Each structure stands twice: as structure tokens, then as C-alpha cells.
């Protein structure tokens, strides 16, 4: 390795373990903490050396073992303070492998050191093999794929390392986004759901070649996947990351992955994962939506969309693309060139809601200058609470709601108390039948206050849609990582 000229040896340390080689600490003093600098002094091509670096204000250490025969360095974080490789965090006491061109951060985000071998093994710097585990699982790109359009720095690592450690993803204008299960992979066993993290295979033989071509054409490859099993605890996040590492090794292209682990704004068809990509995870580069696309198997296809094919379990992938006004393809269309199959979307389409007046008749007054009681009627999710909060409460109406008070008896009591204080009230319950409405009408009459009934005309399908959106807004679960 080439050394930074200002690197200062600060101490000699005894050997560690069985590797009785030259061991010393370094304090890097060239440039600012956030500027890359070269790491350590020369590595012999014939021997392995073990180095320990002590950051100036930290007692924690990072153990480095160089193997010039393989042209790699094993990195192990020994202390509690987080170190990193290529901007992503290490896991304490686990070995991670780096090669020529990788950047080591003694403290995550600080004390940058670039790994540089003066003379690499016989395969040279251009070697494209990536060792994913010590059992020899490897991935190789064709020489023509390396460096044609952009520099690609590989970050090999032990299989047990978090997938966050794998680099090589570039932020770009064009996005080729994919679902995972049923699109990029399918189960090896033939089951609907995988029996374990090893039960997978690439869905179509055309997948790797298609992705490599898109990568050459300056697309960033992105995976957006719902994985509720992680949120339920039936799969560990680390196990899923390990699975993804192996999948990406098979694909042979850098991939940025977003994983929704529960219900929430990130779960498809809600476009939260894409929005996170667009707003936070593309280095401020505006995505060209006209050239980007999304591919997934949850497309709402009907029975026999192709001979002997079952209907799709969902249309969430297609709906997410519709929500984003993004081009959409099924895996068969995208990878195999098949014609689009027949599909069916939900009966309710929020983009087709007609514009109407607030009230019928149009000249009806929503509020009254005199004290009154208003009883709302409508499905759950029909917009009763929104109407009450935006149209009546600002005018001084007391808001009576069973979800808050717990029973109709408490609602009646709260209504009477507000009327006795001279306040107008709005009863925000479903009130679906004559009996439930009669309770509040009688209470208003006893207080000698007129009562009006407002019926929300929201359709049942529209209300169901609203309820679904409300449910999705209360749970947020996602993790994100970039992989090569």
C-alpha cells in the first residue's frame, strides 16, 4: 500500500494473536477528516501484516490484516465506536474484506483512508471477481462491463456482514425499479411463500442480462419490496440482507434496495419507498420520470391472463406506478417480451372523483347564526370528522365524537352539557339507523334547540379506500441499503 507522507507512527504495539508481523499505530494528519488519504505503509507481496490504527481522540481500535497474495485487507472493528467502509457502518467484531480503491473510515464519517496496493496480485486492478464468503461464492462481470461508462469500485465482504457495506451504486437520472418476489426471484421449491431464506432462484434466465444492459444504459437499478414478515418477527433483517446479497451477486449489477417491513406510508401501493428514493436517496438528482419505470408481478391480472395462469394476488405494484404516474410493466412483459395481459383495478379510482359543490342544494348554508345541533351520518371513512373539523368547529361548534368519548351515552351527555352552555354542537358518529339518530334529536329538542342532519354522500368503495389510507398512515417501517 502507498503511504500518506504526513502519516505519523505513534507507537509500537505487541503482536496480536498468532500473526507475528510488524504491528504499529498511525495517526493520519494529511488534510481534513473528510478528505480521503492513503492508508498505512507498504504491504509486502509475500507476507501478511496486521495493523492497528488508533484514532486521535478514541480508545477504540480497528484491526487490519493485509493479504497481498489475494490483494485484500480484512477489517475488524474492535471498539464500541462505529467504523465504516465506503460510507456504511461496520458490525463490531465481524471481519469485512476490502480491496484496492475502497475507503475505510476509522470513525464513521471521519478519518478517511483509501486502500491502495502498490502491486496487486496477477489478475491486476481490473479483476472483477467479488468474494462474498470464505466458501468461495463469487460473481464476475465481463471485462467490457467494467469502466465503459463509469468507474465501479467493488466492496467485497464476508457473507455475514450487513448488506449496507456493499457499494458501487451511482445516483442517476433514470431509475429501473423492480419488485423482488415474483419479479426478480421466485421460490426454488415452487411454493407461494419461501420456506426459508435459501428458497429462491432467479425468476427468468433473461433477468441478469436485462439488468446489465440497463446499467450500461445509465439506469440505476432499484428494488422496492414489501417484507411484512420482518415486521412480524418471522424473519430477521440481517437474514434478509444476507439473502439479498446473494441475489445481487447472481444479478451482477449494483442495486439500491428499499424494504417496507410493515403497514405504513412505505408499503406499496403507497409510494413512500419511491418518495424516499426521490427525496433523500438519489443525492439530490431529480429523477427523469419519463424515462424511468417500475416492474412488478402484483398487477391485478385476472384468471387466465395467460393460459392456465391464476389471477394476481394483488394489484399493489400497478397501483403504486399509477400513484406516481410512472410507466409500469409486468415481469413477463419486461423480461420476456410478452403482450400485456388482461387486468382489473379496484372499482374506486380516486383520480376520477367528480368535482361537486359542498352541499346539495348548492345554496344550503353549512353553519347557522343561531344555536343548533348537527347530526352527521356516513360510513366510517366517509369524511365526517374532516367535515366537522374544517367546516363547523372553526365556527364555534363543539365536536362530539364516540371514538373519543367511548359510548353513545357519553356523547349524549357531552352534547347536552355543550347546549346548556349555549354552544352549537356537531355529533360526529356514523349514526346509521333511526334509533341512533333519535337519541340526539330528542336531546336537542329537550334543550329546545333545532337539529339538522347532514348525510355524507361518499360511496362505500370510496369510504373503504379512505379507511385503507388512514390505516397505512399510522405505521412506518422501512430500511434502505445499497448493494453491489
Q: Which residue has the higher pLDDT, 135 or 482?
A: 482
d(CA 186, CA 54): 46
User: In the structure, how many helices (H) and strands (E) does the chain have?
Assistant: 11, 24
Contact predicate 251/218, CB 8 Å: no
pLDDT band at 217 (very low <50, low <70, confident <90, very high): very high
Each residue of 414-429: pLDDT tens digit? 999 999 999 999 999 9
Dihedral sign for Cα atoms in the order 419, 425, 427, 433:
positive
Residue 380: name the closest of 443, 444, 469, 265 by CA: 469
Each residue of 14-61: pLDDT tens digit? 333 333 333 333 333 333 344 333 334 333 333 333 344 444 444 446
Task: Determine the longest span between alpha carbons in the chain, in angstroms.
Answer: 100
The mean per-residue pLDDT over the stretch 173-191 comes to 96
Q: Say yes or no to pLDDT of 155 above 80.
A: no
pLDDT of res. 334: 98
Q: Say yes or no to pLDDT of 201 above 90.
A: yes
Each residue of 123-133: pLDDT tens digit? 332 332 222 23
Average pLDDT, the chain: 76
Q: Which residue has the higher pLDDT, 98 or 285?
A: 285
The mean per-residue pLDDT over the stretch 225-229 comes to 91
Q: Say yes or no to pLDDT of 229 above 80.
A: yes
The mean per-residue pLDDT over the stretch 101-113 comes to 75
Q: Which residue has the higher pLDDT, 108 or 272?
A: 272
pLDDT of res. 43: 36
- Residue 24: what are its φ and ψ, rounded to 5°? -155, 165
Point out the least confidently predicted range of 150-154, 233-237, 280-284: 150-154
Collapsing DSSP to helix, strand or coil, 252 comes out as coil
CATH code given to domain 162-348+474-483: 3.40.50.1000
- Residue 217: what are its φ and ψ, rounded to 5°? -85, 20
Residue 99: name the closest of 78, 124, 118, 117 by CA: 117
pLDDT of res. 354: 82
> Look-up: residue for cell 463469487?
138
pLDDT of res. 473: 58
Q: Say yes or no to pLDDT of 1 above 70.
A: no
> Please, how many CA atoms are within 13 Å of residue 176, restricted to the half-sphere of its CB?
24
d(CA 393, CA 178): 45
* Domain range 373-458, its CATH number among 3.40.20.10, 3.40.50.300, 3.80.30.20, 1.10.1040.10: 3.40.50.300
pLDDT of res. 174: 96
Q: Say yes or no to pLDDT of 157 above 80.
A: no
pLDDT of res. 119: 55
The mean per-residue pLDDT over the stretch 255-276 comes to 89
pLDDT of res. 118: 57
Q: Which residue has the higher pLDDT, 216 or 164?
A: 216
d(CA 100, CA 103): 9
Each residue of 58-102: pLDDT tens digit? 444 677 777 766 777 888 887 777 788 876 777 777 888 888 777
Q: Say yes or no to pLDDT of 251 above 70.
A: yes
pLDDT of res. 484: 42
d(CA 235, CA 24): 42
pLDDT of res. 61: 67
d(CA 44, CA 402): 77
The pLDDT > 70 percentage for the chain reads 73
Domain ranges in the chain are 8-131, 162-348+474-483, 373-458
Domains 8-131 and 373-458 fall in the same CATH topology? no
Q: Say yes or no to pLDDT of 274 above 50.
A: yes
The mean per-residue pLDDT over the stretch 403-411 comes to 92
Q: Checking DSSP bridges between strand 61-67 and strand 88-89, what pairing results, if any?
A: unpaired
> Look-up: residue for cell 330528542?
442
pLDDT band at 117 (very low <50, low <70, confident <90, very high): low
pLDDT of res. 83: 80
Architecture of domain 8-131: Sandwich (2.60)
Point out the least confidently predicted range of 102-106, 354-358, 426-430, 441-445: 102-106
- Written as nine digits, the cell of 215 is 446499467
d(CA 86, CA 109): 9
pLDDT of res. 302: 96
Range of 22-26, 181-185, 188-192, 226-230 with top mean pLDDT? 181-185
**At what angle are helices 237-251 and 207-216 packed, to 10 degrees?**
80
Point out the least confidently predicted range of 98-112, 336-350, 470-484: 470-484
> Please, how many CA atoms are within 13 Å of residue 428, restricted to the half-sphere of its CB?
23
Amino acid at each position: 500500500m502507498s503511504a500518506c507522507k504526513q502519516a505519523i507512527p505513534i507507537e509500537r504495539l505487541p503482536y496480536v494473536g498468532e500473526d507475528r508481523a510488524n504491528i504499529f499505530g498511525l495517526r493520519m494528519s494529511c488534510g481534513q477528516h473528510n478528505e480521503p488519504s492513503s492508508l498505512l505503509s507498504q504491504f509486502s507481496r509475500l507476507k501478511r501484516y496486521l495493523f492497528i490504527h488508533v484514532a486521535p481522540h478514541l480508545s477504540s481500535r480497528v484491526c487490519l490484516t493485509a493479504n497481498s497474495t489475494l490483494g485484500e485487507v480484512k477489517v475488524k472493528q474492535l471498539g464500541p465506536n462505529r467504523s465504516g467502509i465506503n460510507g456504511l457502518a461496520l458490525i463490531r467484531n465481524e471481519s469485512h474484506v476490502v480491496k484496492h480503491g475502497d475507503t475505510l473510515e476509522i470513525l464513521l464519517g471521519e478519518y478517511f483512508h483509501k486502500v491502495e496496493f502498490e502491486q496487486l496480485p496477477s489478475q491486476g486492478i481490473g479483476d472483477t471477481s467479488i468474494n462474498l464468503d470464505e466458501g468461495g461464492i463469487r460473481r464476475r462481470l465481463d471485462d467490457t462491463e467494467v469502466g465503459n461508462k463509469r468507474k465501479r469500485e467493488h466492496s467485497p465482504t464476508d457473507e455475514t456482514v450487513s448488506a449496507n457495506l456493499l457499494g458501487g451504486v451511482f445516483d442517476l437520472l433514470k431509475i429501473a425499479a423492480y419488485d423482488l418476489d415474483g419479479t426478480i426471484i421466485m421460490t426454488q421449491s415452487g411454493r407461494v411463500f419461501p420456506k426459508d431464506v435459501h428458497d429462491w432462484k432467479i425468476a427468468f434466465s433473461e433477468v441478469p442480462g436485462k439488468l446489465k444492459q440497463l446499467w450500461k444504459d445509465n439506469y440505476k437499478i432499484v428494488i422496492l419490496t414489501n417484507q411484512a414478515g420482518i415486521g412480524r418477527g418471522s424473519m430477521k433483517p440481517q437474514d434478509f440482507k444476507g439473502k439479498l446479497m446473494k441475489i445481487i451477486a447472481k444479478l451482477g449489477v449494483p442495486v439500491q434496495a428499499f424494504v417496507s417491513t410493515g403497514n405504513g406510508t412505505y408499503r406499496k401501493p403507497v409510494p413512500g419507498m419511491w418518495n424516499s428514493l426521490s427525496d433523500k436517496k438519489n443525492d439530490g438528482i431529480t429523477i427523469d420520470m419519463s424515462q424511468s419505470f417500475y416492474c412488478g408481478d402484483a398487477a391485478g391480472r385476472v384468471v387466465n391472463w395467460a393460459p392456465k395462469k391464476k389471477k394476481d394476488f394483488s394489484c399493489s405494484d400497478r397501483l403504486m406506478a399509477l400513484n406516481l404516474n410512472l410507466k409500469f410493466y409486468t415481469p413477463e412483459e419486461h423480461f420476456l417480451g410478452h403482450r400485456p395481459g388482461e387486468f382489473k383495478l379496484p372499482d374506486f379510482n380516486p383520480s376520477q372523483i367528480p368535482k361537486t359543490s359542498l352541499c346539495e342544494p348548492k345554496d344550503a348554508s353549512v353553519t347557522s347564526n343561531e344555536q343548533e345541533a348537527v347530526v352527521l351520518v356516513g360510513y366510517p371513512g366517509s369524511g365526517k370528522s374532516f367535515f366537522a373539523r374544517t367546516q363547523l368547529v372553526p365556527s364555534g361548534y363543539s365536536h362530539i365524537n364516540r371514538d373519543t368519548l367511548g359510548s353513545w351515552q357519553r356523547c349524549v351527555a357531552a352534547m347536552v352539557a355543550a347546549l346548556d352552555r349555549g354552544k352549537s354542537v356537531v355529533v360526529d358518529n356514523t349514526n346509521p339507523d333511526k334509533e341512533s339518530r333519535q337519541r340526539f334529536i330528542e336531546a336537542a329538542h329537550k334543550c329546545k334547540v333545532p337539529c339538522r342532519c347532514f348525510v355524507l354522500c361518499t360511496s362505500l368503495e370510496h369510504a373503504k379506500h379512505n379507511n385503507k389510507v388512514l390505516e397505512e398512515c399510522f405505521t412506518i417501517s422501512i430500511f434502505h441499503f445499497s448493494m453491489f
